[in-house]
Amino acid sequence: MVKIFDFQKKREEVIEEKRQGLERIMFKNVLGAYAVIEENGDIYPITLNDISQDGVSFEVPYNEKVEEKFSDGAEIKLRMYFSKHSFIPIIIKIRHSTEILGFNRAKFIRYGCEFDKSLTSFKAMQSFIDFLYQFAEFSTHDHGENKAFFI
């Protein structure tokens, strides 16, 4: 039996895996994001896990004292901060949620969401997402083999 290896599929899998890893680095070190619930005006810091052409995945710490949880189908406003005071507002719809156990047995709720692409500000987010895909495909790692000298 001959096994055929699909190089294009494998390449796409490697690029997707690299993209997700780069996103996590970027989200943890460069971007901040806050979800805003319009009904009561509260702002919740979130941890972004993944972003794609269609949606975003994020986590919030689980708090037993706070009964409010984003329900499936709920639309919420997400602020994507690119500087300390500037953000792009986008609307997302909750598609699913899962309670997870993190480090030190800390509980989190992970949400999977879909973008509302009709909002005019989504155009900027689309460009950012396109950049992440291109960066994942064409970037390389610096292993320290070249040194920069400053005069």
Q: What is the arithmetic mean of pLDDT over 17-30? A: 63
19: number of Cβ within 10 Å: 21
CATH code for the domain of 75: 2.40.10.220
Angle at 133 between CA 51 and CA 28, to 5 degrees: 50
78, part of any domain: yes
Residue 125 makes CB contacts below 8 A (sequence gap 6+) with 80, 88, 90, 115
Q: What is the arithmetic mean of pLDDT over 126-145? A: 82
pLDDT, tens digit, for every residue of 71-93?
899 998 888 887 778 888 899 99
Q: Which residue has the higher pLDDT, 107 or 7?
A: 107
Would you place residue 62 in the very low, low, confident or very high pLDDT band (cuts 50, 70, 90)? confident
Decide if 82 contacts 29 (C-beta within 8 A): no
Number of separate domains in the chain: 1
149, part of any domain: no
Tokens 């390389």 belong to 140
Full residue range of the structural domain in which residue 59 is found: 8-138
Would you place residue 126 in the very low, low, confident or very high pLDDT band (cuts 50, 70, 90)? very high
Model pTM?
A: 0.71
Across the chain, mean pLDDT equals 80
3, part of any domain: no
pLDDT value at 111 more than 90: yes
Q: How far, in Å, CA of 78 to CA of 58, rounded?
A: 11
User: What are the percentages of helix, strand and coil residues in the chain, rounded to 5?
Assistant: 30, 35, 40
